[in-house]
Homo-oligomer: A and B are copies of this chain.
Amino acid sequence: MRKALAFDIGGTKIYSTIVDENGNILYEPLKFSTPKTIDGIIKILTEQINIHENEIDLIAIATAGAVNNENTAVIGSTGNLVKGYYTIDFQSLSNKPVFLENDANSAAWAEYKIGASKGTNVSVMLTLGTGVGGGIIINNKILKGKSGAAGEMHFKMYPDHRRKCSCGSWDCYEAYASGTALKITAEEMLNNKDVTTYDVIDGVKNGDSKMTAVFNKWQNDITIGIMGLANIFDPDCVVLSGSMAQFVNLKKIEEAVNSDIVTSPISVRLATAGNFSGMIGVSLLAMENIEV
């Protein structure tokens, strides 16, 4: 059975493991803090490649940032990656084929192959974490766009310049639907700069009506974005992943969406491919796309 040496390179952490062609993780992933330099990142990758190169067929890297349509390079660095990250020549690190894909796209592919959206034709995955990631699968292909950067959830929710977004613009979906956004919604509604995301989640659990109102506003903003995506893509399902997805009321979101859209009803589901879905997804994608 073919195997991939898999990496997940994010702004704060790098993970590594081996994934087989059924999507099984072969050992507990290693975890590294993301170095602040390109050389530091290359060193981590090279060490793992040197250890495992003889037992694997290819190298599959899920990474922050947009990846080109040839799956060979990062085409632009996001704010939280080291400067010049996109200049790394990943293929030069090994004689085995190296395959890259954006982390959210990779996770969406894992859900599609072995997780919550398995068997669907059109699915939208939203990763609700510090930011909001997006991965869209249409008829067995990831939506990549002309340059590879498609699936960015930066459509404007309230285009009145109320909230700065991490992308540099204003009022994007991410600025209202992310975990960070929940804190900002709480700050605004409670007029309290010190309130945390945890305070809101905890308050909801304890039946605090103010915290519940904050949470409901945030969940409603998530819902409104899904309504738009449902009308644009007419998907079978929307899969929610990321650290914040566990807190939302899927049934309530699904009912609200389906009562509002002009396309046929969608299903709203929790991701099931696990915390390492990025590495699983990019490995499966690499093994489908590269003959080794």
User: Which positions in A face B, CB cutoff 8 Å?
Assistant: 66, 75, 120-122, 134, 136, 138-139, 141, 143-160, 167-169, 172, 221, 224-225, 227-229, 231-236, 260-264
Contact B234–A144 (Cβ < 8 Å): yes
| Nearest CB on B from A155, distance (A) | 3
Known interface pairs A156-B227, A157-B159, A158-B158. Does A263 touch B122 (Cβ–Cβ under 8 Å)? no
Binding site secondary structure of chain A: loop
| Nearest CB on B from A83, distance (A) | 17
Known interface pairs A157-B156, A157-B159, A263-B152. Does A145 touch B229 (Cβ–Cβ under 8 Å)? no
Question: Per a CB cutoff under 8 Å, which of B221, B225, B228, B262 touches A149?
Answer: B262
| Nearest CB on B from A149, distance (A) | 4
Contact A143–B233 (Cβ < 8 Å): yes
Contact B156–A228 (Cβ < 8 Å): yes
Known interface pairs A228-B154, A262-B154, A262-B167. Does A234 touch B149 (Cβ–Cβ under 8 Å)? yes
Residue numbers in B under 8 Å from A262 (CB-CB): 149, 152, 154, 167-169
Known interface pairs A155-B155, A159-B224. Does A263 touch B141 (Cβ–Cβ under 8 Å)? no
Residue numbers in B under 8 Å from A225 (CB-CB): 155
Contact B121–A152 (Cβ < 8 Å): no
Residue numbers in B under 8 Å from A156 (CB-CB): 157, 224, 227-228
Question: Per a CB cutoff under 8 Å, which of B121, B148, B172 touches A234?
Answer: B148
Give bound CA distance, A159 to B120, whole Å: 29
Contact B122–A145 (Cβ < 8 Å): yes
Give bound CA distance, A59 to B3, whole Å: 51
